Chain A
Amino acid sequence: MMKSILTIALVASLSACTTVKPWERGYLAKNTMQGSPIAQKSALDRHVFFAKEGASGGGKAAGGGCGCN
């Protein structure tokens, strides 16, 4: 019993997932980290894509990495 609890607790605490805090987004905000180097062009492409497909949203998270919008 004790051993299984310990195993579960250990496995849970070993998780490598972590949330990037708003102030840790310096590297993520760099141009090289963007999917497309030209933000305006990718926004336009997305707009056209959504219009053609009759669907919208779910493309990617908004914002340039500052976590304020």
Chain B
Amino acid sequence: MLRSLLLAASLGLSSAAMAVGVGEKAPSFSLPTLGSGQSMGLSKYKGRVVYVDFWASWCGPCRESLPMLNELRNELKRKGFEVLAINLDENTDDAKAFLKQFPVSYPVLLDPEGRIPEKYELPGMPTSFMIDKKGNVAKIHVGFKAADMPQIRKDVIKLLKQR
């Protein structure tokens, strides 16, 4: 009894998770898609370059990033690029209203409970993970400014050229 109580107490103290680093395998996930509700995840995009973008309607920089990412995605989709957006709004209606204003053509997944950002240990909002064709994290981008876009584009094109 005593021992189990102690164990429970110490477990409560050590709940820190390990952050995902560059070069590591991207943690898998499966989440419902906004709209159809169908579950989808990274595994569907094996062999493609995926830009996993964590966003929320209340996040200021996302107003800029979503339209710009949408443009990049539409430009490079045929070359094997996809954006997977993970929305972290606690209320999905907020996300829907935001997307009405800033529509995107890439899939938006819903994680209102924030389980996947916990797994990825997001340092801030928004954060994006560029994932190469092998499913490894190639780059992590924290925050967003319009001026970041040319570099993101360059990085994506470089990853698309890899085998």
Q: Residues of A with Cβ closer than 8 Å to B?
A: 2, 5-6, 9-10, 12-13, 21-27, 29-30, 64-69
Interface membership of B60, Cβ < 8 A: yes
Query: What are 30 pairs between A and B in contact, CB < 8 Å?
Result: A2-B2, A6-B5, A6-B6, A9-B9, A13-B8, A13-B9, A13-B12, A13-B13, A21-B114, A21-B117, A22-B123, A22-B125, A22-B127, A23-B54, A23-B88, A24-B114, A25-B125, A26-B56, A26-B58, A26-B88, A26-B94, A29-B58, A29-B59, A64-B60, A65-B58, A66-B58, A66-B61, A68-B59, A68-B142, A68-B143
Apart from A13-B10, A23-B54, what 4 extra A-B contacts exist at CB < 8 Å? A21-B118, A66-B124, A68-B125, A68-B126
Known A-B contacts A2-B2, A69-B143; A23 and B125 likewise in contact (beta carbons under 8 Å): yes
Chain B, residue nearest A29 (CB): B58
Q: Indicate if the CB atoms of B122 and A26 lie closer than 8 Å.
A: no
Q: Residues of B with Cβ closer than 8 Å to A?
A: 2, 5-6, 8-10, 12-13, 54, 56-61, 88-91, 94, 114, 117-118, 122-127, 142-144
User: What separation, in Å, do the CA atoms of A69 and B12 have in the docked complex?
Assistant: 30
A13, A23, A29, A69: the one contacting B117 at CB < 8 Å is A23
User: What separation, in Å, do the CA atoms of A26 and B125 have in the docked complex?
Assistant: 11
Residues of chain B contacted by A22 (CB below 8 angstroms): 117, 122-125, 127
Residues of chain A contacted by B56 (CB below 8 angstroms): 23, 26
Q: Indicate if the CB atoms of A68 and B13 lie closer than 8 Å.
A: no
Identify which of B58, B89, B91, B117 gathers the most chain A CB atoms within 10 Å of its CB. B58
Interface of B is mostly: loop
Number of A-B contacts (CB under 8 A): 72
Q: Indicate if the CB atoms of B9 and A66 lie closer than 8 Å.
A: no
Q: Indicate if the CB atoms of A21 and B122 lie closer than 8 Å.
A: yes
Chain B, residue nearest A24 (CB): B114
User: What separation, in Å, do the CA atoms of A22 and B126 have in the docked complex?
Assistant: 9
User: What separation, in Å, do the CA atoms of A27 and B57 have in the docked complex?
Assistant: 11
User: What separation, in Å, do the CA atoms of A9 and B59 have in the docked complex?
Assistant: 38
